[in-house]
Amino acid sequence: MGETLNSELKIIVFQLKEKEYAIPVEQVRSIEKIQHITRVPGTASYIKGVINLRGVVTPIVDLRDRFGLNEGDYLDHTRIIIAVLDGLDVGLIVDAANDVIDISKDSIEPPPEIVSGTEVEYINGVVKLGKRLLILLDLEKVLNEKIVEGY
């Protein structure tokens, strides 16, 4: 194992409205098309319910709603990213899953001042790739224990 391996990070890039977000690929189990979500009464508005994915009941979080963005319609390119946090699966509804790319850990910068709103507390940093600005999410903060345990 050389030094270069440790400085690379493979990320999955996805879209919410006009912004691109990313999470490390090791936190992602799969990417699914949108499917029937069973509502669960008494949960937060951003928890859309649960799906039965290959025998695993998985809570589904709408990231637009979680970040206080206005919700959009689910379209052909809407996806559910199945993320794994502390051994539990959670689905994240995103507008589109764009690509998987390798970045250098050195290219991660602290969040710029211009990032505002609810989402700022969920950000690990940003990566500039040409004209693209990728916002790296901290899944631990996005999916706090309340979501994981209390859906």
Q: What is the pTM of this model?
A: 0.88
User: Reduced to 3 states, what is the DSSP secondary structure of residue 119?
Assistant: helix
Label residue 82 by pLDDT band (50, 70, 90): very high
Domains in the chain, ordered, with CATH?
Answer: 9-150 (2.40.50.180)
Q: What is the mean pLDDT of residues 7-13?
A: 95
**Spatial distance between the Cα atoms of 90 and 115, rounded to a whole number of angstroms:** 25
Asked if 61 and 48 touch (Cβ cutoff 8 Å), the reply is yes
Structure tokens at 116: 């505002």
Residues in contact with 129: Cβ distance below 8 Å, sequence separation at least 6, in sequence order: 101, 103, 107
**pLDDT, mean of residues 3-31:** 90
CA distance 142 to 68: 12
User: Once rounded to an integer, what is the mean pLDDT over residues 21-34?
Assistant: 96
Task: Tell me how far apart the terminal alpha carbons of the chain are, to the nearest angstrom.
Answer: 41
Mean pLDDT, rounded, of the chain: 87
| Segment among 102-106, 134-138, 146-150 with least mean pLDDT | 146-150
Measured distance CA(15)–CA(58) in Å, rounded: 21
